[in-house]
Structure 1
Amino acid sequence: MKNMKTRLIVGLDLPDRTTAEKLVTTLGDSVSFYKIGYQLAFVGGLELARDLLKEGKNVFLDMKLLDIDNTVASGVENIAHMGVTMLTLHAYPKAMRAAVEAAKDSGLCLLGVTVLTSMDDADLRETGYAEGAEALVLRRVAQARDAGMGGVVCSAQEAQKVRALVGSDMAIVTPGIRPAGSAAGDQKRVMTPADAIRAGSSHLVVARPITQAPDPRAVAEAIIAEMRSAIV
């Protein structure tokens, strides 16, 4: 946990590969881990992922896979061959079990997405869930643990209870991280970097507070310093 540089994941939620490459250049050696999701994946993001891996960076593919078991397994096998570090899928038990079998011996860390940090209890009720966010997160975390997943994605607000449930081995990756004074945007369950680390998060995903900053490198370095301060 002490090497916080490897625990900060910068979300490349940007409109095109050129913009993403400029940010990576600006951040330089201050950042070693990047997330590539839907927005960038379809405009050269997968090719960029391969280039980042060649440069020695870690890559988190945020694909949130969910499909029939065979399709999930086939997709996971191909992604594992890319050599990326982390991959997300929605935390449905059958999908997770298929993914774990497909990724066996590959070194790929599979993450089960529990409840999106842009959703709260009211959103879940509208969707048809009887459970609130925390209860649903904990149920899906237990299912991810039992399926043999490498970790989960949840809000840092649930990280302490999640850590108690999974122990020290599983990764707890938390989006919705906002340094003090940052706008929450469309995130509803947010936390500061230091508080998230204290709560038990292993990795923090930060996008807009860095990507939209006048000096992205300074912000990234400040976040890493705040993360380190939490474990003094």
Structure 2
Amino acid sequence: MSDSKIIVALDFTEADQAKRLVDRLDPSLCKLKIGKELFTAAGPALIEHFTNKHYDVFLDLKFHDIPNTVSKACQAAANLGVWMLNVHASGGLPMMQAAREGVDKANISVAPLLIAVTVLTSMDEATLHSLGVSRDLPAQVLALATLTKQAGLHGVVCSAQEASMLKSALGKDFCLVTPGIRPHNSDKDDQTRIVTPAEALNLGAHYLVIGRPITQARDPVVALNTILNEI
């Protein structure tokens, strides 16, 4: 297994696309993230394929449902042998506690990290207010992250711009996973709250989720190594 800080987001539509990319990578240099699109297309077999190649897999399905359903979904996900999985913190304290109970019931030797999504990095404050949230964006992130820690989860997905605040408020061991990472001279795409890899780690992030700057690079291996050298 890898201790790399880089999680490569496999945002593909088909398993074969993901496999071709991953065959060029190295499990000692990065971890992998499988999200809704790829998991819906390829299913649990793809997770098994990558774990058999000794990759740590972050299953990014962002469960958000009634507590009993989320508990069973998290138990099933943990049984797949993933390294990390997540839920939406906005599902509330009982739902997150149920998620933790589900992971604890899994028939595995090493439980995965269970984290929660605070505010999606594609959202800005205007979007948040349009949903009826009166807090400003940092306050909403802190409130949801505090609730996540109260529920006994290991950490949160957040923008690196909030990492320093969360580290100060919730402690250095509370795991911070940051998407919206863009190396120098790369496109923002649909992310609005972004920082560079080195900046994110300096702000307190534990793991960096990086997709298109690696997966859509002319040479993904060079792109990954360039980021590793930068950090």
Q: Shared fold by TM > 0.5? A: yes
Which residue is 1:98 aligned to?
Answer: 98
Q: Counterpart of 1:149?
A: 153
2:205 to 198, 201, 207: 201
Distance 1:148 1:154, change over 3 A: same
SS of alignment partner, residue 112 of structure 1: strand
The TM-score with structure 1 as length reference comes to: 0.93
For residue 8 of structure 2, what is the amino acid of its counterpart? Answer: V
CA distance in 2: counterparts of 1:223 and 1:141, whole angstroms: 28
Q: Which residue of 2 aligns with 1:12?
A: 10
3-state SS of 1:205 partner: strand
| Structure 1 equivalent of residue 215 of structure 2 | 211
Q: Which residue pairs with 2:38 in the alignment?
A: 40
Is the contact between residue 178 and residue 190 of structure 1 (CA under 8 Å) also seen in structure 2?
A: yes
Distance 2:105 2:185 in 1: 43
**Counterpart mapping for 1:33-182 below 5 A:** 33-91=31-89, 92-104=92-104, 107-182=111-186
Give the alignment's TM-score, normalised by structure 2: 0.93
CA distance in 2, matches of 1:96, 1:29: 30
After superposition, the Cα gap between the structure-2 partners of 1:141 and 1:29, relative to the gap in structure 1 and judged at 3 Å, is closer
Matched residue of 1:62: which SS?
strand
Q: Per residue, is there more helix in 1 or in 2?
A: 1
Whole-angstrom CA distance in 2 between matches of 1:17 and 1:31 = 21
Gap regions ≥5 residues in structure 1: 228-232
Percent identity of the aligned residues?
Answer: 41
Q: Distance in 1 between matches of 2:85 and 2:210?
A: 16
Contact 1:14 1:20 in 2 (8 A): yes
Taking only aligned residues, the RMSD between alpha carbons, in angstroms, comes to 1.6
Q: Secondary structure at the match of 2:146?
A: helix
Number of matched pairs: 225
